[in-house]
Amino acid sequence: MLALSLVNLAFTSSVLQGGVIDPFGDGNGRVGRALVMAQCLNARLMPPVFDGNNRAMYYAAMQHAMKHGRYSPLIRLFYQSVA
């Protein structure tokens, strides 16, 4: 369980870093999501799916993490989206 938590933290960090280094001005996070997908596939895990059902929660959790430095809502969302 701890290993999976660390992997999720790495995914989360990738998403946040991707949002910061994203070269596209619209800031939609496509680079971060691509990094997450690559890391998941490399770890032989199903990439998370953020669709119409959970996209708003994903954006809210991302904003919370970036503003407050608290990753637990985002990590929880990753767990839920791959389960």
pLDDT tens digits, residue range 32-59? 778 778 878 887 878 888 888 888 998 8
> Left, alpha or beta for 43 (phi > 0: left; psi -120 to 50: alpha)?
alpha
The total number of structural domains that make up the chain: 1
Q: What is the predicted pLDDT for the residue at 15? A: 66
Q: What's the pTM value of the predicted model, to 2 decimals?
A: 0.68
Tell me the residue range of the domain where 64 lies: 2-82
The runs of H, that is alpha helices, within 1-83 are: 2-21, 30-42, 55-68, 72-82
